[in-house]
Amino acid sequence: MSDIYADFKEQPGDDPDDVLFNTLYGVRTIQLNRPKKYNALNGSMIRKIIPRLKEYQKSALASIIIIGGAGPKAFCAGGDVSQLAKDIAENGETGQATSKSYFGLEYKLDHLIATYPKPYIAYLDGITMGGGVGLSVHAPIRIATENTNFAMPETGIGFFPDVGGSFFLPRLEGFLGTYLALTSESLKGVQALYAGVATHYIDSSVLSNLTARLAELVFKDYDNLHTRLRIIDHTIEEFNTGLPHDEPPHLAGNLRLAIDYCFHYDTVEQIVSALEKERDSPKAPSQIKEWAKKTLEKLGEKSPTSLKVTLRQMRLGARWNTAETFNREYHIAAKFMRHPDFVNGVSARLIHKPAMKARWEPDTLERVSNDDVENFFKIDEGEDSLDLLTQGLDYDRYPFEQDLGLPREEHVEEVVKAKALGRKRIISTMVEAKERKIGVSEKVEEILGRRAGIDGEGKVVWKNLSET
């Protein structure tokens, strides 16, 4: 074996069956196989997946990689942080070092996925949280089903949205990523598609048929990754059974405007103040007042340190490329392993049965200073860096985002400003441009309803945020 496999050899205690690999013509499937643990990711699983991905990368016979989870409930509910917290509580600095090594291993896998040179598809069929997000959101093709339950719950356990959350979340539209990061709000089913977390939506009942159909694809030797992904994109659309008729975009209209307004601030205190104003405003719709009240309650349950570090992470991560993202998160994770909130939060929320309220240290936002926050982003002298497995393929924006996902707000704005068209023509133009992809009409309709108006001639005009 080459040196690249040195950290991924089987260790005593590794379960030989916690990941299952299968071959179907040109498709290679990876199935997370801990259904009783909601397929929670651990070191044993990572040590199996990385060498296989490297093997598939070199093999001319492996054309498409598909990752999914065993059982009916979860793709992957996260990393096995309960074990990490127990190790720290029992072994102190030794446990902290072990946990840091685990996160280094996990981030190497996530970065490998983010820069993988072959089509990599994630089936988000079930709970997709924490470590499961790292295995999926950096894939060029991410398929949601009616069972999808996506969230980043880290601020509630004294941690931060890692696994590349610094990259993925700030690049969602508006300040949606900041909202999801701070509140741990979940996106269920088709809402993951509308929010940009998923690129496709199909019914879970046809996933096995889709896998079989993808196995039939034969690419030309000279087809580049972009061409291959487009072929796969068209193939997935063959399994389109329509969107749920009773589930329009939830984070839409006045609610989405309120999210972008409240969460655009650069301090948690300002965000809290904005939410309080919405809650108490006599002019705010009742839906928004109730949302603001519940959001304040959610934030009040989170670790104050996690909230402040996460908000800073969202702002800095918007400027990081993929390599810097995982290197930075490696150091931030190490700092959290030495902070009491991680053990306290995981113990209270995940280990203790029934779950109980965590005791945060410090226990208020006011007691978390700017220096405390900035310390998480300092790389101490002598600290090791993350030895990533892929070099030279990093980027600042997801390279296939515009081709494979639903239109983003900026794309709709470009069409509106470039063409003097009515509402129906704008929608039909974008639907045709996306080759009638499922969800385009609903997404464009929502964006126009929130960000556009109609002039005296019946043409769509784009509105500045101050006008909405």
User: Which sequence positions are flagged as catalytic?
Assistant: 79, 131, 154, 162
Residue 338: CA count within 13 A, CB half-sphere: 9
Q: Cα 40 to the chain's mean position, in Å?
A: 16
Count how many residues are written for the chain. Answer: 468
CA distance 267 to 182: 12
* Cis ω for the linkage preceding 161 (within 30 of 0): no
Question: Among 129, 158, 161, 154, which Cα is nearest to 337's?
Answer: 158
Strand ranges for 7-61 from DSSP E: 19-24, 27-32
CA distance 76 to 149: 10
Q: Is 35 helix (H, G, I), strand (E, B) or coil?
A: helix
Residues 6+ apart with CB under 8 A from 240: 202, 438
Question: Among 213, 186, 204, which Cα is nearest to 244's?
Answer: 204
**Bridge partner list, 123:** 143
Q: What share of the chain is helix, strand, coil (3-state, %, to 5)?
A: 50, 10, 40
**Bridge partner list, 143:** 123, 200
DSSP string, 340-356: HHHHHHHIIIIISSS--
CA distance 338 to 95: 10
| Cβ pair 452, 463 in contact under 8 A | yes
Q: Is 96 helix (H, G, I), strand (E, B) or coil?
A: helix
